[in-house]
Chain A
Amino acid sequence: MDSNLMQAMLRDMLRARAFEEAAAQSYAQGQIAGFLHLYPGEEAVAVGALHAAEPGDYVVSTYREHVHALVRGISARSIMAELHGKKTGVSSGMGGSMHLFDRERRFLGGYAIVGETFPIALGAGYAVGYRKLPEAVICFFGDGAVNQGTFHETLNMAALWKLPILFICENNHYQIGTEIHRHSAIVDVYRRACAYGIPAEQEDGMDVLAVYAAAQRALHRVRSGDGPQFLELTTYRYRGHSMSDPGSYRPEAEVKAYEAADPIAAAIHEVSLKYPSQSELAAAGPDCIRQFFDRCCQDGHIDDAALQRLQSEVQSEIDDAVQFAIQSPQPTMEDAQAAFTQNRRFETLL
């Protein structure tokens, strides 16, 4: 495979990890508030899939979307500033972590209501099909989202009208604290797409090359007019569901007392609030970044020295983004009103 592409994907995976860890740190320092859903562990999904996409393609994502935005070319500065609620943020400080939007880069948003990415992608796919354009729409969602009615309704219409949409399920096996066997009757998510006649594959979402190849195949079919395609990428999130998971603001002693009394809940809190144990991580398979780096070394695309260089470049990009976010101005109420009335440019209401 092309060395430049391999290096670019490795760089993006490192950027993704560094960005999220920096965000976690800012959150811990009280610089970022609200919900913060992080992506460590799942980098191969966004990086592999979005490197297979064209710049003209549209992307729709969830509240766990910082990395999708970053890989899509939105600057680390403007994403970090948005997380900090600053005026320089990609959504001007009005959206926050879960609502990144970038019209120019065709990033149609992060959505915080589970299941909303489907109709948005359907509408975008309809608009592209309507104008007979060559673009594809890439729709990201979690394993928990497939039990929302919009999932089924969207798959049906997308298949019925052969819309140019690539559905990508980021299957990290958890819907907050509910493991997939406890929320879904069919745990191989891709099989659900077959019910609507949509070609679907399940791939190892920890292997960026497998993701890249599968996304490329699927996008090729989308662009050839074969209608919607579906990928299920199995992956794992290392952090809790979000930084503000209920447990994180509970008095420590209370949590401990509760956990001591209830072994089932204790197990769940382990998973949801901290990095999982080594044994659990091992069972989830090797870390996607480690795995990809080893592969790059093996194939002669990179060596340890180059990796170190890359890492320090990435770290300074992210450090700069954090500094930028901290130093950026707060938006004002006039900014908020301006965003709110933007649509009314040519109209005066009463």
Chain B
Amino acid sequence: MTDLLYWQALNRAMDIELAEDDSVFTLGEDVALYGGTYRVTEGLLAKYGEWRVRDTPISENTFTGLGVGAAMLGLRPVVEIMTINFALLAMDAIVNMAAKIPFMSGGQFPMPLTIRMPGGIARQLGAQHSQRLEVMFMNVPGLRIVVPSTPQDAYWQLRQAIRSDDPILVLEHELLYFQKGAVDETAIAPPLHQAQIRRAGRDLTCITYSRMSTVAQEAAAELASEGIEMEVIDLRSLSPIDWESCVQSVSRTHHCLIVEEDCRFAGTGAEFCATLQEFCFYQLDAPIQRVAALDLPTPFNGALEAATIPAKENVVQAARKLMGLNQGVSQ
């Protein structure tokens, strides 16, 4: 067990997979000589050489497509797209190629492709660099999406993604790279898409993922001091979603609060909410509530930027309201 930063955990996972399987290689802008924008590929060029750790030109659609083609020949590419905002330029490779080829070929071509990308709202990077696009990929059958929120998950989920024969997007949050956490390299990893209870609680279930998982845990600590016990479920995967873990929890707490960083309208929470009410309608004591970002491009101004995305206080308030509302109803 060692304490690692999130980026170090990813770096370690890359290193091990490169060492253990010579069909694994990585490419992207500034991944080799520079070591990656967030240092995830640091030191790998020196160790594995340029065929396996390749700097690319700024040609996202084509180098992501290269990953698809190479995967068809049995290599296991790990494509780094410098940030998720540039994945919009690689949508053809991701959506039309990677997600479709295994199916369109009648199952002849596995697609052992991993695409890593930082995303989310960091600090004042402007509207084009402050996006949460996970929901766009969720709507594409054939893609699997993981959203690690801890160094341990980053380590496990990247390794598992590389070993999978499906195309998997690993969405890393820009504000998590310098978070520290314990990483146990000998422990057995849970299934790639299994949700985790980050904090147990009897009163309400909070369903969340990525950086919002830490925000929700902070809120849960505050709520506990008021006597409200909020269970925090970190989904860890957005496609597929571990509904069973969610349903089990909601069936116990009878209250469900969704916390997401993306925009509210047609956001990830809309999917969580719709499916959970199908499963749990009769277990719920109150309508499922969502805490989400404003439906607005991210303003550059720092205070406005912060005001567009959920903070601990918003989660605490929503939880109180959800519980209070219920008391009102049952009285």
Contacts and interface: CB of A to CB of B under 8 A. Distances in A.
A83 B58 CA distance: 26
B29 A35 contact: no
Interface string B14-49: 000000000000000110011101110011011000
A178 to B, nearest CB: 5
B55 A99 contact: no
Interface string A266-281: 0010001000000000
Contacts of B303: 330
Interface residues of A, number: 48
Interface string B159-187: 00000000000000000001000000000
A246 B37 contact: yes
A85 B57 contact: no
Contact of A337 (B35, B55, B128, B296): B296
Contacts of A99: 126-128, 300
Interface in A140-158: 144-145, 147-149
B124 A96 contact: yes
A176 interface: yes
Contact of A111 (B55, B56, B128): B128
Given A262-B43, A268-B34, A331-B299, A95 B127 contact: yes
Nearest to A99: B126
B124 A182 contact: no
B304 interface: yes
A97 B301 CA distance: 11
B177 to A, nearest CB: 9
B86 A113 contact: yes
Contacts, number: 130
A161 interface: no
Nearest to B63: A147
A38 to B, nearest CB: 16
B190 interface: no
B128 A113 contact: yes
Contacts of B202: none
Given A97-B126, A147-B59, A268-B33, A113 B301 contact: no
A181 to B, nearest CB: 11
Contacts of A46: none
Contacts of B43: 258, 261-262
9 contacts: A33-B124, A33-B302, A34-B126, A112-B129, A114-B86, A148-B59, A149-B62, A183-B58, A331-B299
Interface of A: 33-35, 82, 85-86, 91, 93-99, 111-115, 144-145, 147-149, 175-178, 182-184, 246, 249-250, 258, 261-262, 264-265, 268, 272, 330-333, 336-337, 340
User: Ordered nearest first, which 6 A-B pairs have the shortest CB separation?
Assistant: A96-B300, A34-B124, A147-B57, A177-B34, A85-B301, A33-B124
